[in-house]
Amino acid sequence: MILAISGAAAATLFTACSPANIQSQLRASDANSNMMTRCEEVDMRSNSEMLGIFKKYDGWRMIYISEYTTENKFGTSGSVCFEKPNN
């Protein structure tokens, strides 16, 4: 039992794991069924990557954003969804 607990503690220490913080927001979508929806994963630590995603979807409406990070800020990943009328 003590070996199992110390092994789990060592694994946590060496992998820099910590509890995750997850935040998300869902905005109202258009009731129009003729909408295109696209979602992208983005590294929230990279300003250039975020700007590239937002530039790619310029003119689209952001309907969902979710951020996943750990307390030690080892990594921050996000998901963003956009929609626009299907022309």
pLDDT of residue 3: 44
Residues 6+ apart with CB under 8 A from 53: 40, 42, 80
pLDDT band at 5 (very low <50, low <70, confident <90, very high): very low
pLDDT of residue 74: 67
pLDDT in tens, 26-77: 666 656 668 888 999 988 888 899 899 999 999 999 888 888 776 666 667 8
pLDDT of residue 67: 82
Structural domain boundaries of the chain?
19-85
Residues 6+ apart with CB under 8 A from 12: none
Distance in angstroms (rounded) separating the CA atoms of residues 84 and 60: 5
Q: What is the pTM of this model?
A: 0.61
What count of residues does the chain have?
Answer: 87
DSSP state of 72: T
Encoded tokens for 28: 């109202």
